Structure 1
Amino acid sequence: MLLIGGPKQFGRKEPSMIVIGCDYHPSWQQVCWMETTTGETGEQKLEHASGEAERFYRRLPTPALIGMESTGNCQWFVDLVGALDHQLWIGDAAKIRATDVRQQKHDRRDAALILKLLLEGRFPRIWVPSGEEKDLRQLLIHRYKLVRIRAQVKNELQHLAMNQGGDPEAEVVEQSGRKGAPRATAAGVGEPAARRPVQVKRDVGRADCPTRSSRGGVC
């Protein structure tokens, strides 16, 4: 195990805190920890599917500071740590790796390295958006895609109107006396051609509805 500095090197902290270096993998994690008051240390491999990792963090007597490299497929772990009022710091993986002179990955040593950086105040922490910010970003991406679809469908509708000699800004299809029965605006247009503008208009409506909903409207 790497040589770990004493708790005084960590800087300002609670009177008693458990600091944990976590080498996270999708199905398990290797942890290395120190209790800052007593200097007691330990390490353990925790499986995820069996619930071993969750039980470990729930048993911690005081709120812990946990450090781990930036990685994917860990949202459940982020939520768990937050629900238990522990602090989770995400670090720049490349910068963490650069501090290891041996440059060879080893799960136990990687967890100890993260702990060492936390205790020495050298952990390269990066900003991570909150759950609400992530949801908002996904909503904006979804709305952007809907707006693009809406624009493409409307362009096709205008093209159909121009192809039939009509006004691209006007309605391409009018409704006849029978509800839902379309008729073409140009003479000689067959039934399939008459149905196509109607389908395009329906596509526009489908794109309009979620777009309005994403702005807080009611579809």
Structure 2
Amino acid sequence: MRRVIGMDIHRTFGEVVFWEDGRLRHGGRVDMTRTALEGFGKSLLATDEVIIEATGNCMAVSRVLSPFVKRVVIANPLQVKAIAHAHVKTDKVDAGTLASLYAAGYLPEIWTPDAATERMRRLVAHRYQVVRHRTRIKNEVHAILHAHLIPKCPHADLFNVGGRAWLARQPVPDD
């Protein structure tokens, strides 16, 4: 007997629905903690397939549940929304939709990276955020100079050694 488990995951809990031979059965809620997910994973069969949507914590949920089941599939939420038009939208309905679409072969899933690729993605994303933050701060400094009618820096880069020395001599308010 084939079992597909749909999980509508959120920050603090996941709603579980079992699809078994074309029938849906509510499985309750699981807390989104490692301990609770491991306990849930131990209650599953090695032949089960778990379906979740791509969210902020889906990779962590996938890593915890993967050792206990045949497969954890991460669905593309935008494509799932386009396929499944539910008039009633609840967590149970969403979890059941995920399980039913997968069981029917209609689930649009995303590619799941290996651990090394996932780590590299996190590093690249963090670097991108740091660079954006640095750019915002530099733009803010330029705006302060402009607001106080201070002419353009004579150095090629306001933020190299010469530019910072010039900046320190400019008459700007302490705040």
Fold in common (TM above 0.5): yes
Alignment partner of 1:156 out of 157, 160, 167: 160
Residue correspondences, number = 144
- 1:97/1:103 contact within 8 Å kept: no
Structure 1 position 130, deviation (Å): 2.7
Structure-2 change in CA distance of 1:156 and 1:60 (3 Å): same
Between the aligned partners of 2:82 and 2:122, the Cα distance in structure 1 is: 33
Q: Helix, strand or coil: the match of 2:28?
A: strand
What's the counterpart of residue 79 of structure 2? Answer: 95
* Structure with larger Rg: 1
1:1-219 paired onto structure 2 within 5 Å:
17-35=2-20, 42-48=25-31, 51-140=35-124, 156-159=160-163
Letter in 1 for 2:94: D
Structure 1 position 42, deviation (Å): 2.8
Structure 1 position 81, deviation (Å): 1.5
- 1:96/1:123 contact within 8 Å kept: yes
Contiguous gaps of at least 5 residues in structure 2: 139-156, 170-175
Q: Helix, strand or coil: the match of 2:102?
A: helix
Please tell me the root mean square deviation across aligned C-alpha atoms, in Å.
3.4
Structure-2 change in CA distance of 1:67 and 1:49 (3 Å): closer
Structure-2 change in CA distance of 1:40 and 1:136 (3 Å): same
User: TM-score w.r.t. structure 2 length?
Assistant: 0.63
Between the aligned partners of 1:96 and 1:44, the Cα distance in structure 2 is: 21
Structure-2 change in CA distance of 1:98 and 1:49 (3 Å): closer
Percent of residue pairs identical: 24
Structure 1 position 123, deviation (Å): 0.4
Q: Helix, strand or coil: the match of 1:47?
A: strand
Letter in 2 for 1:34: W
- 1:21/1:112 contact within 8 Å kept: yes
Between the aligned partners of 2:95 and 2:124, the Cα distance in structure 1 is: 36
Structure 1 position 159, deviation (Å): 4.3
Structure-2 change in CA distance of 1:118 and 1:157 (3 Å): same
Q: Helix, strand or coil: the match of 1:55?
A: helix
Between the aligned partners of 1:40 and 1:160, the Cα distance in structure 2 is: 69
User: TM-score w.r.t. structure 1 length?
Assistant: 0.52
- 2:6/2:51 contact within 8 Å kept: yes
Contiguous gaps of at least 5 residues in structure 1: 1-15, 164-191, 194-219
- 1:24/1:68 contact within 8 Å kept: yes
Deviations along 1:127-150, one digit per CA (max 9) or x if unpaired, are 23233212123334556758xx8x
Deviations along 1:41-66, one digit per CA (max 9) or x if unpaired, are 53212231684443222122323211
Structure 1 position 157, deviation (Å): 2.1
